[in-house]
């Protein structure tokens, strides 16, 4: 353990606190960064400052019901890092009460939630809430297999870091939300445009335009609530068909766009066909009825120097060819 407070009960800040590291983190936070980049740097630097084997940030989902594993430093403690419900376990308690937990032996605490997929003994634990104007955003936590690893100095450092980073996380979170479609959780048109801007230096991609077949019939026959469910079903099918690193956006109405990183024609067609089949085997339950859902796909491999907008237009033209050819199929742009 590192030394704790001095005899007066206060921290000798100039000696105990990692001033240089904190100033470096503060300078980093003033730069415009994506939420993902911000989280990575925070957990990596925090892990070093506290000498922790593991550090992680879990953020609350949009419904504020569960803490979702977002970023970590060190090996994951769980084989399957599933969400923690609000109030569940140590992390959920920190989020629900917006209070710190520091434990010498986490597994002996009655609030500890044991899971079968834990790789090794948790040991000591430190968790602090990330609180900004909207309330608790998530939890910054540290774990070490060494018992009684974290002291008052570590708690003070963690609280200071949380106070520093939470407002920046809130700004980044709100910026990210402005790029997301609230119905499906996918990128919206603005988010797609922002992604397109990043392609200036990395132009290797394939665009896929997707349009739900006969969507107007679903809205007219069953109402917009069922239509919204249909859109979410399609969004889910598309999201589970692409690879890590690919992007899915709701282009507008019942149209979606996939941007496939570095995918050649064969890979792109295979992904599009996988999405088409997954959707064709998905049904929307409405009372006693099951609504079959299909979509038409147009695929356009980006040409050298071609913009995302131009590739999407060619994919859109190919998608209309799929519509005219009978729907529920994939067509490659010439």
What confidence score (pLDDT) does residue 230 get? 94
2-6, 51-55, 190-194: least confidently modelled range: 2-6
The residue count of the chain comes to: 334
Over residues 78-99, the pLDDT tens digits come to 555 678 899 999 999 999 999 9
Active site amino acids: 254
Do the domain assignments include residue 265? yes
Q: Is residue 218 part of a domain?
A: yes
In a domain, 2, yes or no: no
The CATH number linked to 127 is 3.30.450.40
Q: Is residue 88 part of a domain?
A: yes
Cα(95)–Cα(58) distance, integer angstroms:
10
Please report whether residue 3 resides in a domain.
Answer: no
Tens-digit pLDDT profile for residues 121-163: 788 999 999 998 778 989 999 999 899 999 999 999 999 889 8
153 and 291 fall within a common domain: no
Q: Same structural domain for residues 165 and 197?
A: no
- 183 located within any domain: no
Q: Which domain holds residue 315?
A: 189-332
Q: Which residues pair with residue 57 across a beta bridge?
A: 71, 140
- pLDDT surpasses 50 at 6: no
> Model confidence over 269-313: pLDDT tens digits?
999 999 999 999 999 998 888 988 999 999 999 998 888 999 999
Tokens, residue 186: 């996918």
Q: Is residue 288 part of a domain?
A: yes
Q: Could you tell me if 198 and 285 lie in one domain? A: yes
What's the pLDDT score for residue 10? 44
Same domain, 150 and 199: no
**Mean pLDDT for the chain overall:** 85
Does 243 share its domain with 125? no
Q: Are residues 167 and 215 in the same domain?
A: no
Q: What's the pTM?
A: 0.58
Structural domains of the chain, count? 2
**3-state class of 309 per DSSP?**
helix
Q: Read off the tokens for 226.
A: 């069922």
């Amino acid at each position: 353990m590192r030394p704790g407070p001095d005899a007066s009960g206060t921290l000798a800040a100039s000696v105990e606190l990692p001033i240089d590291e904190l100033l470096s983190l503060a300078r980093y936070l003033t730069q415009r960064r994506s939420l993902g980049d911000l989280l990575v740097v925070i957990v990596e630097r925090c892990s070093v400052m506290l000498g922790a084997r593991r550090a992680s940030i879990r953020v609350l989902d949009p419904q504020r019901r569960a803490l979702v594993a977002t970023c970590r430093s060190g090996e994951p403690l769980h084989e399957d890092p599933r969400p923690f419900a609000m109030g569940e376990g140590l992390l959920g308690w920190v989020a629900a009460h917006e209070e710190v937990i520091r434990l010498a032996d986490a597994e002996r605490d009655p609030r500890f939630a044991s899971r079968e997929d834990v790789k090794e003994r948790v040991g000591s634990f430190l968790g602090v809430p990330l609180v900004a104007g909207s309330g608790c955003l998530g939890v910054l936590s540290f774990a070490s297999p060494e018992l009684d690893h974290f002291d008052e100095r570590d708690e003070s450092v963690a609280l200071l870091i949380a106070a520093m980073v939470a407002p920046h996380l809130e700004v980044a979170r709100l910026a990210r939300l402005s790029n997301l479609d609230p119905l499906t959780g996918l990128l919206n048109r603005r988010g797609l445009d922002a992604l397109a801007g990043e392609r200036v230096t990395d132009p290797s991609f394939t665009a896929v335009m997707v349009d739900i077949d006969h969507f107007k019939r679903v809205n007219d026959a069953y109402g917009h609530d069922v239509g919204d469910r249909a859109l979410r079903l399609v969004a889910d099918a598309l999201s589970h068909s692409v690879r890590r690193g690919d992007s899915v956006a709701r282009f507008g109405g019942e149209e979606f766009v996939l941007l496939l990183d570095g995918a050649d024609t064969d890979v792109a067609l295979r992904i599009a066909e996988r999405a088409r089949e997954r959707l064709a085997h998905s049904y929307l339950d409405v009372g006693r009825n099951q609504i079959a859902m299909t979509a038409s796909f147009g695929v356009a491999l980006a040409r050298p120097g071609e913009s995302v907008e131009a590739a999407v237009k060619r994919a859109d033209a190919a998608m209309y060819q799929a519509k005219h050819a009978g729907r529920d199929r994939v067509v490659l742009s010439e």
